């Protein structure tokens, strides 16, 4: 996983996500705290944006657990626990692979703000599906 591959998704590109570190079973992604992420109230971040960052980091930590040219992970389930709003950016998501089966893979992820305060924790499950048009 690298920035070019991460930003193949227009959503990830628009959210300005970037890869900090990726190794098998671990991914750390970052994104700036911008006005485009704002929730309804001033100073808030839309929960869907936090969940999307966690989902992207979780999928990225699967790198090396499958063959990207023949299979593609799709999120089958994600549980998001929201704790607080950020005090500053950038926002950083750290995801770890906790189960790597042949078809199902599971992750844990935390998203923190610039003060290293946990904003969100997630658990997610991914299913590997055959990629009919390899990249």
The pLDDT, as a whole number, for residue 16 is 96
Query: Before 11, cis peptide (omega within 30)?
Result: no
Whole-number pLDDT of residue 30: 98
**Is residue 88 one of the residues assigned to a domain?**
yes
Is residue 81 included in any domain, yes or no? yes
Could you tell me if residue 135 is inside a domain? no
- Total-model pTM: 0.93
- Check pLDDT > 60 for residue 6: yes
Reply yes or no on whether the pLDDT at 26 is more than 70.
yes
| 114 within some domain | yes
Predicted confidence (pLDDT) at residue 135 exceeds the cutoff of 70 = no
Distance, in Å, from the CA atom of 102 to the CA atom of 9, rounded to the nearest integer, reads: 25
To the nearest 10°, report the CA torsion of 56, 103, 135, 97.
30
Q: pLDDT grade, residue 36 (50/70/90)?
A: confident
Q: What is the pLDDT of residues 53-66, one digit of tens each?
A: 999 999 999 988 88
Task: Please say whether the beta carbons of 20 and 34 come within 8 A.
Answer: no
Facing residues of 64 across strands?
A: none
pLDDT the model gives residue 99: 96
Q: Which residue has the higher pLDDT, 134 or 75?
A: 75
- Tell me whether residue 21 is in a domain: yes
66-103 confidence digits (pLDDT tens):
887 888 899 999 999 999 999 999 999 999 999 999 99
Whose CA is closest to 53, among 120, 100, 1?
Answer: 120
Domain that holds residue 125: 3-130
User: Into how many domains does the chain fold?
Assistant: 1
CATH number of the domain at 13, please. 3.10.129.10
**Residue 52, in any domain of the structure:** yes
Q: Which of the pair, 134 or 22, is modelled with greater confidence?
A: 22
- In this prediction, residue 69 carries a pLDDT of 82
Domain membership of residue 118 (yes or no) is yes
DSSP class per residue in 92-129: EEEEEEEEE-SSEEEEEEEEE-TT--EEEEEEEEEEEE
């Amino acid at each position: 996983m690298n920035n070019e591959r991460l930003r193949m998704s227009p959503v990830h590109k628009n959210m300005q996500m970037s890869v900090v570190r990726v190794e098998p079973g671990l991914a750390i992604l970052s994104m700036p705290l911008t006005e485009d992420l704002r929730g309804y109230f001033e100073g808030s971040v839309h929960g869907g944006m936090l969940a999307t960052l966690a989902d992207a980091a979780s999928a990225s930590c699967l790198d090396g657990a499958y063959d990207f040219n023949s299979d593609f992970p799709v999120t089958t389930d994600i549980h998001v626990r929201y704790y607080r709003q950020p005090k500053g950016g950038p926002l950083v998501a750290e995801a770890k692979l906790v189960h790597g089966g042949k078809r199902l893979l599971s992750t844990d992820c935390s998203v923190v703000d610039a003060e290293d305060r946990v904003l969100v924790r997630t658990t997610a499950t991914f299913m590997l599906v055959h990629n009919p048009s390899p990249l």
